[in-house]
Structure 1
Amino acid sequence: MTEQNKLTIDVVSDVVCPWCFLGMKRLENALASLPDIDAEVRWRPFQLDPTIPAEGKERKAYMLSKFNDEARLTQAHANLVSLGAIEGISFDFDAITVAPNTLDAHRVIRWAAASGAGVQDKLARALFSLYFEQGKNVGDHAVLIEAARQAGMDAAVVESLLATDSDRDEVTNEIVTASRMGITGVPCFLLDGKYAVMGAQESATLADAIRQVAAEKAAGEPTLN
């Protein structure tokens, strides 16, 4: 595998964003169709609503306040359930009772990057599933610690760090940086730090973009911004 075939893919996302869960699955499918490209996927933080208190909010009331129409919310959920089924996701919106603040989840995801190859990816997958398929509160420290343990992290270390302010500022600064880059919605896929693909694009679209960036890198050409 040459250096030209190696790419970094930074996925800017929030663990309570259903489109980010879809985007994760579509990225997996895209990469599976590109066996000659060695992609390092890195998860970057974003908060859809950083104003949610640490204890979270009652989700149904919170979502209704955003949609202002129960019928619209029901339709949005139904659409996501249909799209999720295609990607192997079993969305269960009725099981979700808490709209959490996700800052602590992003802190754990950040620590996972230093915990070994594949650990961060495994943790991100687990948190999406816990929230959207099992209705778990991913703002709850106990849920985060157990998810970290199952992903291969040292649960005792995660528990001790969560009790502190470790990396709060770093995560917040990353989110601010994403906003300054013009990222106002997620998911956003940053390919080799040069080319951005916005939204939960179809797997084929993501694969084409990745293939293009890899080809331009191999040819030594500047990638389009």
Structure 2
Amino acid sequence: MRHIEVWADVVCAWAYIGKRRLARALEGWEGEPVEVVWRPFRIDPMAPARAQPLEEVLRDPVVDAALQGCAPGMSAAENRVRVSEIAAVEGLGPRWGAAWRTSSHDAHRLVALAYEQGGAALQDAVLEGVLRAHFVERRDISRTETLHEVASAAGFREGARLLDEGGGEGYVRETLLRGKAIGVTTSPTLVIGGEALAGAHAPEVIAGFVARAVAEPRREVPAEVERLRMAEALLDKGDPLGCLTLLGSLMAEYPEERGVRMLAARAHYHSAQLSRAQGGLEKLVAENPDDAYARLLLGRTLERRGEAESAARHLRIAAAMNPEYGKAG
């Protein structure tokens, strides 16, 4: 079975519209069996834990810029007008429009827990309840009571307890990093294997995308390799702390793997954890004195720590092994 991963924020109206369109696109699907799995995305990472009336908040240009992640190229006001018209066509309503700006973190936890405990069908029911509560019933989905009621109405009997116990916390935080690593920047974004479709497109466009992506040969990659690649992608995107978060389990499971240790050292260096970077790099250099890059990075680390003499020795050796490194300085 192929997975259609939908990276979306439950406070993004286009995610609700996209959910309807995806369902229509898959009506009568006769290809390889597929399963829709919803993954968390945040269009407004700075949204407060305590809800604020949205009408007041939308007057803030900073918030307007943040919400453009849900509709690139449009102001929040323009987006709301357009979306309300499209929502009516999609049969969402009759009343439509969110009333609150608030963090979607706990709602994402509930949606994730639903999939973990009951699979795609239960997740779909819980997600529908969350979206309806936010956009149609105009409720505050950051409130524990609201999420408990959504879980109960969807038949997720364990949802309230699991949510109250902190379930899904680590999963949501890590999965947000995974989305960033693979380049998700818009809500919703459909991902099948290595193919992505950003936006809430018409059902026929979605159906065509699914057909093409599912027809592509599967690219089976060991989970450990995929995690390492994602961690490195986060470092390349300027998020060394996110890189270290994804590396955590690999560092625990493969403490002697050189590639894991080198990436951790790089992330420690770029996050200014210089003592940790130095410790890791000194071991890597001791094990393989001919590793020019490890020498270079160790030299740079020692420079930043004010150990000029030790740094110069490693930098000279690195430049001798690879003249390009001598030009970097």
Aligned to 1:80: 83
* Deviation string, structure 1 residues 140-182 (Cα, Å, up to 9, x no partner): 111111111111211xx33333334333232111112211211
Q: Structure 2: which 5+ runs fail to align?
A: 66-74, 221-329
Aligned to 2:187: 186
Is residue 197 from structure 1 mapped to residue 197 from structure 2 by the alignment?
yes
Q: 2:26–2:207: 8 Å Cα contact kept in structure 1?
A: yes
Aligned to 2:211: 211
1:18 is displaced (CA, Å) by 0.5
* Distance across 2 between alignment mates of 1:158 and 1:186: 25
1:133 is displaced (CA, Å) by 1.0
Matched residues, number: 207
Q: Which protein is richer in strand relative to its size?
A: 1
* Deviation string, structure 1 residues 97-123 (Cα, Å, up to 9, x no partner): 321211100111111013324000111
Q: For 1:147, which of 146, 150, 172 is the aligned residue?
A: 150
Is residue 111 from structure 1 mapped to residue 113 from structure 2 by the alignment?
yes
Normalised by the length of structure 1, the TM-score is: 0.83
1:189 is paired with a residue of what secondary structure? strand
Q: Which protein is richer in helix relative to its size?
A: 2
Between 164-173 and 101-110, the greater mean CA deviation after superposition: 164-173
Displaced runs of 4+ in structure 1, greater than 6 A?
none
1:35 is displaced (CA, Å) by 3.9
* Distance across 1 between alignment mates of 2:174 and 2:183: 14
Provide closer, same or farther for how the CA distance between residues 221 and 129 of structure 1 changes in structure 2, counting only shifts above 3 A. same
Q: Which amino acid aligns with 1:34?
A: W
Higher relative contact order, chain-length normalized (CA < 8 Å, sep 6+): 1
* Deviation string, structure 1 residues 22-42 (Cα, Å, up to 9, x no partner): 111110010014244422010
Normalised by the length of structure 2, the TM-score is: 0.58
Provide closer, same or farther for how the CA distance between residues 67 and 167 of structure 1 changes in structure 2, counting only shifts above 3 A. closer
1:56 is displaced (CA, Å) by 2.0
Is residue 42 from structure 1 mapped to residue 44 from structure 2 by the alignment?
no
1:12 is paired with a residue of what secondary structure? strand
- What is the root-mean-square deviation in Å for CA atoms of aligned residues? 2.2
* Distance across 1 between alignment mates of 2:214 and 2:186: 25
Q: Structure 1: which 5+ runs fail to align?
A: 1-5
Is residue 177 from structure 1 mapped to residue 181 from structure 2 by the alignment?
no
2:15 is paired with a residue of what secondary structure? helix
Aligned to 1:129: 132
* Distance across 2 between alignment mates of 1:214 and 1:166: 32
